[in-house]
Amino acid sequence: MIIRKSPAELEKMRKSGLLVHRVLNSLADMVTEGMTTMELENAAAKMIADAGARPAFKGYFSAAAGTRYPYVLCTSVNEQIVHGMPSTRIALKKGDVISIDTGVQLDGYYGDSAITVGVGEITPSLGRLLEVTKQSLEMAIDKVREGNRLFDICATVQKHVEENGYSIVREFVGHGIGTSLHEEPQVPNYVDRNNENPRLKEGMVLAIEPMVNLGRPQSKVLSDRWTAVSQDGSVSAHFEHCVAVTKDGPWVLTRP
Is residue 207 a contact point for Co ion (CB under 5 A)? yes
Q: Which is nearer to ligand MF3, 54 or 128 (CB)?
A: 54
Binding track, positions 212-241, relative to ligand MF3; x by CB under 6 A: ----------------------------x-
Binding track, positions 94-133, relative to ligand MF3; x by CB under 6 A: -------x----------x-x-------------------
Q: Which is nearer to ligand MF3, 70 or 95 (CB)?
A: 70
Which CA distances in Å does 134 have to 114, 137, 220? 10, 5, 23
Residue 34 · residue 61 · CB < 8 Å:
no
Name 74's bridge partners.
101
Q: Which is nearer to Co ion, 137 or 207 (CB)?
A: 207
Residue 79 · residue 88 · CB < 8 Å:
no
Q: Give dist(CA 76, CA 54) in Å, integer.
A: 21
Question: Shortest gap between Cβ of 12 and Co ion (angstroms)?
Answer: 18
Binding track, positions 112-151, relative to Co ion; x by CB under 5 A: x---------------------------------------
Name 23's bridge partners.
none
Q: Give dist(CA 206, CA 183) in Å, integer.
A: 9
Backbone dihedral region for residue 52 (phi beyond 0: left; psi -120 to 50: alpha; all else: beta): left
Is residue 69 a contact point for ligand MF3 (CB under 6 A)? yes
Binding track, positions 6-45, relative to ligand MF3; x by CB under 6 A: ----------------------------------------
> Which one, of 239, 256, 176, 199, lies nearest residue 9 by Cα?
176
